[in-house]
Amino acid sequence: MGVPARHHTRSRVDKRRSHAALKPLSLIKCSHCGEMIPSHKICPFCGYYKDKEVIDVFKGLNKKEKKQKQKEIEEEK
Ligand SMILES: [Zn+2]
């Protein structure tokens, strides 16, 4: 395994890490339901991406949860 040949100064390490900070998520409004979602991601609230339904958000929910979710989506419109 390679071993560093020279000591890296605190300054040099900190300069490299000046680019390592996390940037805030860029949120956009979903074109279908209007929720704020990360860009270039399928909307987790309605399952749409680019005005097309891609995933079924009701899958795996029981009857009661389904009804509640449907109500939430209706209210958003
Ligand atoms: Zn949506």
Query: Each residue of 25-56: pLDDT tens digit?
Result: 899 998 888 889 999 999 988 888 988 888 88
Q: How many alpha carbons lie under 13 Å from residue 11 in its C-beta half-sphere?
A: 0
CA 12 to CA 30: how far, in whole Å?
42
| CA 64 / ligand 1 centre spacing (Å) | 21
Q: Does residue 57 surpass a pLDDT of 80? A: no
Q: What is the pLDDT of residue 55?
A: 82
| CA 21 / ligand 1 centre spacing (Å) | 29
The pTM score is 0.54
CA 48 to CA 56: how far, in whole Å?
9
Q: What is the pLDDT of residue 19?
A: 94
Q: Is the dihedral of CA 67, 74, 76, 35 positive or negative?
A: positive
| CA 31 / ligand 1 centre spacing (Å) | 7
The candidate with the shortest Cα–Cα distance to 39, out of 50, 24, 31, 28, is 28
Query: How is the chain split into domains, by residue range?
Result: 23-76
